[in-house]
Structure 1
Amino acid sequence: MQNLWISAGIALNDGADLIKAQTELQHLMEKTALEPGCIAFEIRQNLERPEHFTLWECWTGEDALKAHFEAPHTVAYLKLGLTKVNYIERLGPIGNRPTGTQS
């Protein structure tokens, strides 16, 4: 079984407090790193646009990622409404394409 790698871009919602978002994202990162099935979970802040963040994640599989979205700390963070998702990328090794895709 291959690990599931995720890259996601999020941005501060209009009217949300940047300092609060930074604090809550740090808390989310610390709690998520302790979840079963989490291999890596990092959140980085864009230096030129501090209201933008990139999440780098690695999970043991789909079940671990699904459990992450059901974890109390994730649910609590999402309820705050501080950020919105700009993109989510599911990543794999070079040359590894799902069946049925063409270049």
Structure 2
Amino acid sequence: MSQTIFVTAELRMNAEKPRSTVIQAIEQFCLDMQSETGCLQAIATYDDNMPQRVILWECYENRDAIEAHFSMPHTRAFIALEMTELVQAFETQKNGEQAL
């Protein structure tokens, strides 16, 4: 049985790069993620109180979709740009059920 997995990732913007450039890269990354098979949603939210903080909310059909995400050329390219660094990430499922 497959279980939808929600990923919440906190990123910190690279302060050495123009904020508008970083936001543009993040928004494009989210659009690219949404084209992935198994990615149901990918959106970025921004914290007005902490301008370098970005929260990504992602939703995947299953574990295979998450694993495929990290091998995608656009994911590797985004990481290589060093626009952000990962602060923390966690996965959750509806009704507290474990993903298979």
Asked whether the two chains share a fold, i.e. TM above 0.5, the reply is: yes
Bigger Rg over Cα:
1
1:19-58 aligned within 5 A: 19-58=20-59
Matched-pair contact (CA < 8 Å) for 1:36–1:64: yes
Distance 1:97 1:35, change over 3 A: closer
User: Unpaired segments of 5 or more residues in structure 1?
Assistant: 99-103
Matched-pair contact (CA < 8 Å) for 2:4–2:94: no
Q: CA deviation at 1:14?
A: 4.1
**Percent of aligned pairs sharing the same letter:** 23
| TM-score for the superposition, normalised by structure 1 | 0.86
Paired position in structure 2 for 1:78: 79
The residue type paired with residue 76 of structure 1 is A
Structure 1 stretches of 4+ with a deviation exceeding 2 A read: 93-98
Q: CA deviation at 1:13?
A: 2.5
User: Unpaired segments of 5 or more residues in structure 2?
Assistant: none
Q: Deviations over 1:17-51 (max 9, x none)?
A: 21111010011011111110001111111122221
| TM-score for the superposition, normalised by structure 2 | 0.88
Distance 1:64 1:9, change over 3 A: same
